[in-house]
Amino acid sequence: GAPASLARFRGALVGAVLGDCLGGEFEGAEELPMERVLQHLNGLDQDTRGDGILQYSDDTAMTRCVVQSLLARGEFDEQDMAHRFAEEYRQAPGRGYGAGVIQVLKKLASPRLSDVFQPARAQFGGRGSFGNGGAMRAAPFALAFSNIEDVKRYSKLGAMLTHSCSLGYNGAVLQALAVHFSLHGALAVPQVFLNRLISEMEGVENEDRARSDARALNEPDFPFCARLHRVKDLMERSSVSIEEVISELGNGIAALHSVPTAIFCVLHCLEPRAGLPERYGGLERTVAYCLALGGDTDTIACMAGAIAGAHYGSDAIPQCWQRCCEGAEEAEAWAEHLHQLYHQLPRGG
């Protein structure tokens, strides 16, 4: 694939922040007309205040912890990352965290805790969380590790600090893989990109825990692969409505109902689409389309923003959007450090 340029690293990290900040306006909305989304986005073009007026939520707060931990330690360190999650929550609890994960973050703050994966395992009566909180913060793993085996291993462990259900942590692995492939230009041929994701996820989901979790939740074996096949089917249709995307893929808070959706949004918006302004580039189309789905808009746009940003690069990011989003400038600077880390780690995969 294409070399992983600095512009792609910046695009991925800033794209994620933008998706979170811009999507926050509509999180939980139903039946959202595209006109309302465009009104919101066009308002930013005219906003002269800029300067981070749109605040980031838990998606970015936790992504920042992942980035800072990877940069400070130069490797994955579960104790350090868990400590940063807990400290971030203690300092800013009002960032819109999931109702369940708050319990984990409080327990992670205890100095007596030796196994940092234990609080996540206790969630939801021992079943663990299948929420998309692991996936929403997974992009930095693809930006820190060049080896695909490391991307899979550490995105899974990073998610397992809060999400012990395989439908939670495998969503994080899928999101990290999507950013990894996008970073290397695989989106140039969408079918190849999807086939690579399916092939990797067949290996990832081929474990007893994934099978038993899927059955307990009435999902088929290899649930993420099944959703990726649905993405493929939708791509082959001559036209797809927002309602069909929601009904086939979902727009909810579960990783299974949002990570494949984010991937579809990126693929669908590779080309100009009716209803979206002609002047919009691919990244703008992707974010606007994610918002118009309603539901978990901040998180779907955050994940799609990372994948799309890794493809289009930072030049595709509108300056006025970047100025309006809290944390976007800092994300750009951190992307440079991740780029250095990525290239100094052993290559392979």
Q: Which residues are annotated as a binding site?
A: 57-59, 296, 298-299
Alpha-carbon distance of 202 to 239, in angstroms, equals 28
- Token pair for 305: 């923003």
Closest CA to 228 of 252, 253, 273, 259: 259
Compare residues 176 and 183 and give the one whose CB is closer to ligand F2R.
176
* Residue 59 touches ligand F2R, criterion: CB under 6 A: yes
Q: Which residues are annotated as a binding site for Mg(2+)?
A: 57-59, 296, 298-299
CB of 43 closer than 8 Å to CB of 293: no
Give residues 252-281 in contact with ligand F2R (rule: CB under 6 A).
253
* Residue 59 touches Mg ion, criterion: CB under 5 A: yes
Token match 């893989």: residue? 177
Give residues 85-114 in contact with Mg ion (rule: CB under 5 A).
96
Give residues 12-41 in contact with ligand F2R (rule: CB under 6 A).
27-28
Alpha-carbon distance of 133 to 72, in angstroms, equals 22
* Residue 98 touches ligand F2R, criterion: CB under 6 A: yes
Compare residues 194 and 214 and give the one whose CB is closer to ligand F2R.
214
Compare residues 302 and 308 and give the one whose CB is closer to ligand F2R.
302
- Token pair for 75: 């490797």
* Residue 298 touches Mg ion, criterion: CB under 5 A: yes
CB of 169 closer than 8 Å to CB of 132: no
- Token pair for 105: 């973050």
Compare residues 270 and 304 and give the one whose CB is closer to ligand F2R.
304
Token match 């899974």: residue? 156
181 binds, among Mg ion, ligand F2R, none (CB under 5 to 8 A by kind): none
CB atoms within 10 A of CB 91: 9
Residue 24 beta carbon to ligand F2R: minimum distance, rounded to whole angstroms: 7
- Is 233 exposed, middle or buried, given 0-12, 13-18 or 19+ CB atoms closer than 10 A? exposed
How far does the chain reach from its first CA to its final CA, in angstroms?
12
Compare residues 58 and 332 and give the one whose CB is closer to Mg ion.
58
Residue 223 beta carbon to ligand F2R: minimum distance, rounded to whole angstroms: 14
* Residue 162 touches Mg ion, criterion: CB under 5 A: no
* Residue 316 touches ligand F2R, criterion: CB under 6 A: no
**Contacts with Mg ion: how many residues (CB under 5 A)?**
7
Compare residues 200 and 298 and give the one whose CB is closer to ligand F2R.
298
Closest CA to 275 of 301, 240, 308, 248: 240
Residue 326 beta carbon to Mg ion: minimum distance, rounded to whole angstroms: 13
Alpha-carbon distance of 146 to 184, in angstroms, equals 10
99 binds, among Mg ion, ligand F2R, none (CB under 5 to 8 A by kind): ligand F2R
> Binding Mg ion by CB under 5 A: which of 58, 200, 205, 284?
58
Residues 6+ apart with CB under 8 A from 282: 269, 270, 308, 311, 312, 316
Give residues 112-171 in contact with ligand F2R (rule: CB under 6 A).
124, 127, 129-133, 136, 165
Compare residues 205 and 296 and give the one whose CB is closer to Mg ion.
296
Alpha-carbon distance of 18 to 11, in angstroms, equals 10
Q: Which residues of 281-312 are buried (b: 16+ CB within 10 A; e: fewer)?
A: ebbbbbbbbbbbbbbbbbbbbbbbbbbbbbbb
**Contacts with ligand F2R: how many residues (CB under 6 A)?**
24
> Binding Mg ion by CB under 5 A: which of 261, 299, 314, 322?
299
The binding site for Mg ion (CB under 5 A) comprises 57-59, 96, 296, 298-299
Interface with ligand F2R (CB under 6 A): 27-28, 57-59, 96-101, 124, 127, 129-133, 136, 165, 253, 296, 298-299
